[in-house]
Structure 1
Amino acid sequence: MQSVIGGAYSGRRRLAAERFPRAGWHRLVKGEGAEECLVGHAGRDVLVVDGLASWLSAALAEIPDDDALRETWLRLLDGLVAAPCEAVLILDEMGRGIVPMDPAARRLRDHNGWLAQAAVERSRTAWYMRHGLCKQLK
């Protein structure tokens, strides 16, 4: 698995498209797991998975227990690691360390940060994008 992390409109998708021009793309939607990501992409060497932040936001609304939520996104990541193709995750960096006052917004940023850490830990390569500039971190 590989990860590309950065803020909104930082160039993450462009980087993935340039590095993996023949990749299949899948945008996660509410309730999907790794198996649904792979449907329709059989035979591809690379699958780019996008939409993790909106998927996580929807999961937050449905799963009030933080431990159960963590298990949900860990299952997703582990399923993508085990996929028959190389998964490239487009991850969102949120807030650059600014902590929101709203508890729901804080919970989203917390889980997004934990998810990103777990994804990068499982990735063999990780890139950070900022202002269209790319730095390989791992």
Structure 2
Amino acid sequence: MQLFLGGTCAGKRGVVRQRFDSPCWHSAYHDCRLETWRMAAASSQCLVLEGWERWIAARLTAELDDDRLRDIMAIELDALRAWEAEQGGEAVLILLEMGRGIVPFAPEARRLRDLNGWLAQDAASRCERVWYVRNGLCRSLSY
């Protein structure tokens, strides 16, 4: 797995399009549910998943326990790694870096930022490569 992390409109999609041939996009911005990535993966060797913050936000009211919600997202990350191992495919995660340290006043906005940050940490720990994208420039954060 590879992770591309950066702010809004930082150029993450463009960098991913340049680096991967004919990836299959699974996007929360196009009303895809996270769990349906398995159907998209069946016909692709490269699967790009974007919109994680929306997938988290959609679960905030149904799941009030942050640890449980974090575990649910980690299960999906582990399933993606298992898909890679079984099918020989590559999962590419695009995550939005939110807030840059600014703490919002609204509790639900703080919760979303916390969960998104934990997801980024969990994803980074599972990925072979982590990239930070800013202004269309991509820098490796992996060692």
TM-score higher than 0.5 here?
A: yes
Matched, 1:126 2:126: no
Question: CA–CA distance in 1 between the matches of 2:12 and 2:34?
Answer: 22
Structure 2: unaligned runs, 5 residues or longer: none
State the Cα deviation string for residues 76-111 of structure 1 (Å, max 9, x = none).
111111113210000010010111111111100000
| 1:88-107 aligned within 5 A | 88-107=92-111
User: 2:21 maps to what in 1?
Assistant: 21
Post-superposition offset of 1:75: 0.7
Secondary structure of the corresponding residue to residue 101 of structure 1: coil
Secondary structure of the corresponding residue to residue 62 of structure 1: coil
The one-letter code matched in structure 2 to 1:2 is Q
Structure 1: unaligned runs, 5 residues or longer: none
TM-score (norm 1): 0.92
Query: Which moves more between the two structures, 81-90 or 107-116?
Result: 81-90
Q: Which has the higher helix share?
A: 2
Question: CA–CA distance in 2 between the matches of 1:9 and 1:112?
Answer: 17
Counterpart contact for 2:40–2:47, Cα < 8 Å = no
Counterpart contact for 1:31–1:59, Cα < 8 Å = no
TM-score (norm 2): 0.89
Quote the RMSD (CA, aligned, Å). Answer: 1.5
